[in-house]
Amino acid sequence: MRARRTFIISIVLSILLVSSIALVVLIASPVFAQENAIFSVSPGSFTARDVPPLGQPYTLPETIIVWNRDNVKRLILATSEIPPENETAPGYEPIPNENWVRPYPSSILTDENSYVQLKISIDIPRQENFTGQKWEVLIHVERQPIIVDNVLEPVVLGLDVIVRIETSSELTPLRGVTYYLAFLISVILVIVAIVIAAWILSRSRGIKRGRALLRA
Same domain? 103 vs 149 = yes
Same domain? 95 vs 152 = yes
Instruction: Return mean pLDDT, the chain.
Output: 80
Give pLDDT, residue 91.
96
Report pLDDT digits (tens) over 159-181: 999 999 999 998 877 655 455 55
| Rounded percentage of the chain residues whose pLDDT exceeds 70 | 71
Amino acid at 201: L
pTM strictly above 0.85: no
Same domain? 42 vs 146 = yes
DSSP tag of 160? E
Same domain? 46 vs 141 = yes
Same domain? 17 vs 63 = no
Same domain? 27 vs 41 = no
Number of domains making up the chain = 3
C-alpha to C-alpha distance for 1 and 9, rounded to whole angstroms: 12
Longest dimension (CA), the chain: 150
Same domain? 87 vs 145 = yes
Same domain? 32 vs 43 = no
Report which of residues 97 and 210 the model is more confident about: 97
Same domain? 31 vs 41 = no
Confidence class of residue 131 from pLDDT cuts 50, 70 and 90?
very high
Same domain? 190 vs 150 = no
Report which of residues 188 and 8 the model is more confident about: 188
Domain range enclosing 28 = 1-36
Report which of residues 31 and 184 the model is more confident about: 184
C-alpha to C-alpha distance for 198 and 203, rounded to whole angstroms: 8
Amino acid at 169: S
CATH of residue 121's domain is 2.60.40.10
